[in-house]
Structure 1
Amino acid sequence: MICNSKLSDINPANGPSLSQPKLSDFSVANRLSKLKISEKNSAEKVKLEEELNAARELEKQEKYKLDKTLNELKSKRLILNELKDEYLKIIQEAKIKYKSLEINFKNLTKEIEVKQQNINSLQNQLNSLTNQTRTKEERAKEITQKIKFLDESLRHSNEKYLSINLEKNNLTSTLNNLHQNYSGLINSFQTFKEDHKKRLKDLNRKLDHQREKIRDLKDELSSDSDCGTVLSRRADSPPCYRDSSPSKVWIDDDDFGWGGGYY
């Protein structure tokens, strides 16, 4: 700067100059220059002092903040250390649990494999049972159709049974009627037989009486003549035989329907 320059340092060759200044002029100028510089420096000094004070105040504030931050950091560091210990403890426990879980996982993997094999086996059994079920369903359908057919046949059989039962009842009624009629006929036949025996007895008595008369007549006519030459009779009538039992006589089949013979 010029204020710090010495007079001997000023060289007229440094710049154009019309006239050489005097020594007093340089002294006044130097004082004026120094005064201006002093005033300028004083203002700058005040400004710098204000800025310095402001900077110091800011520094105090920043230092306070820094101290507060450091204290917080220290507190947080303590907390972090505690958390770190807990974290390490948790990590250790987690490792132990992980090893246990890994062992359990391996065991579970084996169990899952075994269970998967069982599931596959059960699936195969299920498929087999499904096929059997389908076969059973088909057989069930066939059996159902057979049952329906048998039910229909049974219904027809029941109808036939009812019809046959009705016919049976009718035949039973008819047989009962026939039996009653037969019993009536048997009773009528017994009655007729008894009546016929009575009639035969009566007829035999009458014939005996007639034979007595005929013998009496024979005895009167001739004791030696034949019955056929003395008595007149039909040509197709059987001969009259004399018997030691005069109560019996020959009866034709056409007369009573009992067959020919002596009665």
Structure 2
Amino acid sequence: MNTPEGAEPFDFDGDYGGDYEYIARTVIPGYRSSFRQALALLAGRVGPSPRVLVVGAGTGIELVTFKTAEPGWRLTGVDPSRQMIEIARRRMREAGVGDGARLVHGHVSDLDEDGFAAATCFNVMHFLPDDGAKQSLLHDIARRLAPGAPFLLFELHGDRSSPRFDELFAAWSRYWKIHGMGEAERAAFRARIDEGIHWASEARILQLLAEAGFEDAWRYYRALLYGGWISRRALQPLRSSSGK
């Protein structure tokens, strides 16, 4: 897990993308069950054949989980990494769940459709700086949802000024070791985090959701520094991303 000098700390079209499945299973508490939780929450809020937007399709586990349990769901997975798209496409083909699901290489802003009945965004926003990029992503998602549509957000988060953050981060680091990550791997992963993760507190996440056009947001999951929130696209018309 070495990052070449000058490379992005989280290069999803490079070595990090190739190792992503192993890393995610090792460092994210409840990684596999998080998709089943999302399925359980969404299934109670959508009809039998909804169009669902999956932001950050990654290696395709989320898409396969959804389509295996709910074959009638029509899925659109979007990811800016070509390597992730190819891995997801292969996984979906092997699972036999390609019908009614499409993969888009690009960003949410590139999508040419809206009116989705639900959306998810797992392990994406913490890679974006809070300089307008986080807000822009959430606003782009909201614009593509039908009014009242549910939205699930799952993120690494935390208030670095809080004394509890240090304790949770230390426990999270020990979690990597418990899951078998060696000392050199842990040091390399810590270096990636220090350089490439853009932390936001839960209060800030809730604020960003509200400003992007979501309402009734509440946390349904917490494990160390990971959290899951469910909200819904507001019923009233959305403001522009600039707030005007």
> Which structure is higher in strand share?
2
- The structure whose Rg is larger is 1
> Which structure is higher in helix share?
1
Structure number with the bigger relative contact order (C-alpha 8 A, sep ≥ 6) is: 2
> TM-score, structure 1 length as denominator?
0.11
